[in-house]
Amino acid sequence: MPERMDAGMRFAGGRYEVTGELGRGGMGIVWRARDARIDRDVAIKQLHVPEGLPAAERRVLDERLRQEVRIAGRLSDPGVVTVHDVFTENGATFIVMELVDPVTLSDVVGPQRPMPPARVAELALRMLSALEAAHAAGIVHRDVKPGNIMISGNGVKLADFGIAQTVDDPRLTTTGALIGSPAFMAPERIRGHDATPASDLWSLGATLFFALEGWLPFDRQTTAATLHAVLNETPRMSRDHGAIGALVAGLLTTDPRARLTPDQARALLSDLPARAEPARGAMSGRSGSRRWWLIGAVPAAVVLFVAGLLLGRLLPVAGAPGGSPAPDGGNPLVAGPQQPTRTYGPGGDVEPFDMGEDNPCADTALEPGDRVTQQRFRPCDSAHDVEIYTSGDVFGGRSTSDVSYPGRRELTRFAEGMCGAHFATDKIDHPDKERALRYGAVIPTAQAWEAKRRTSLDGDSSNDEGSQIVHCYVRSADGTPLTTPVAAD
């Protein structure tokens, strides 16, 4: 098929009648076509491989694309653009897929047009569902970004699984080649590790940040500066976005083992309407120019041959080859020296437990049977055994909620993810925290949770009992007292 079509049009792949061009960009051309065999309108993406690739690597890339698109064609989820077919003709690769004509998230959101948190939460739930379907099939998308998310009155869909990596397939790419958009590429991928479901979740976090704030958190003027920002900078939100803001922070955790899982992400949003469908047109708000979503791949499959100098300066991510192993018996998705999660309240490991953000330091190791009262509080700039470094709840910052106890297993998973995410950041300011410190979570018992739920409904906080708050603590690895605050202000 020639790149410029005349009025006569023609068939491609023996069955697709090309009726016009929808758009073009750095990754190729998108044609509108009619499947003559089953009388259905489709979109056909004619792929271009990046310029400058040696012939052997071009063949490898083409083979990988065709294999992975075939697997992507088996995906069935409302949030995924359906792939119908893939074929090669006249030396070019073509992907046939569902014809959709919405705008992208990039078109809807901008510096003066951030998306309301409730809409971002709906978007997050749909994208989590789409990614889980792909990951269950052994597919990693590798390029989750605003330009690959289409929004219309009929819902939200994730596109461009054509460059997805099949987890179970042998590697077909050249060592050192990274495929994806730099501003949305997870840190461990820049460090040279394989794409994983966790790296897709990091990309989703960067995408949701953009939706909430209206600007790209890691995008810089050059590719090198963008990669440096991903590896070394922590973006700051302009305001408190509640549960969805906490979800974004948890997804943008540098260590993939500390990153939120889909289940933990849903726990953060559990008080929102389950699987809420976006109101028709609520997310659309089209911009002046309509940009065909498939051409959002202008930088979509940027092939970055990372220079040896850059790779030589990067440290291995924790849990990856050369990094520290996951703690025995702990949550393998949580980074660092995690301790067993404790419970507090009636029937719990620690009762009473009066610590919190107002009284973060005490002379207790929080072992089962400990009693933590105000007599054990200590100033954080003097000797203390334990320090609370963050506290929160599964409802995004509210201290009470008329929601039933989620269960110890789910609450523990949420707490471990939250505590691990905070521990992995510069919230814990210590030069050798992985070796020198231990951290853990303290969660309320079912009795404490329900007591808070019951007594908070009368509007009088003076008689409240129980708690729904999760606390994260840190102590020294060798049991010696801490003598200065560990948690950064």
Catalytic positions, written as ranges = 143
Residue type, 55: A
The answer to whether 243 and 251 have CB atoms below 8 angstroms apart is no
Residue owning tokens 């990274």: 178
Report helix, strand and coil shares of the chain as percent, to nearest 5: 30, 20, 50
Contact 426, 434 (CB under 8 A): no
420, 334 Cβ separation under 8 angstroms: yes
Tokens describing residue 304: 């970055």
Q: Which two tokens stand for residue 415?
A: 């707490």
Q: Is 310 exposed, middle or buried (0-12, 13-18, 19+ CB in 10 A)?
A: middle
Strands (E), 74-227: 83-89, 92-98, 103-104, 139-140, 149-152, 155-158, 165-166, 177-179
Secondary element (H or E) of residue 12: strand 11-12
Peptide bond into 352 cis (omega under 30): yes
Name the nearest CA neighbour of 83 among 96, 100, 71, 92.
96
In terms of C-beta density within 10 A (0-12 exposed, 13-18 middle, 19 or more buried), how is residue 293 classed? buried
Beta-strand relationship, 342-344 and 303-305: unpaired
Locate 245 and state its tokens: 């803001």
**Which amino acid is it at 405?**
Y
| SS3 label, residue 464 | coil
> In whole angstroms, how far apart are CA 475 and each of 101, 200, 427, 437, 441?
55, 33, 14, 6, 12
Phi-psi region of 407 (alpha: psi -120 to 50; beta: other; left: phi over 0): left
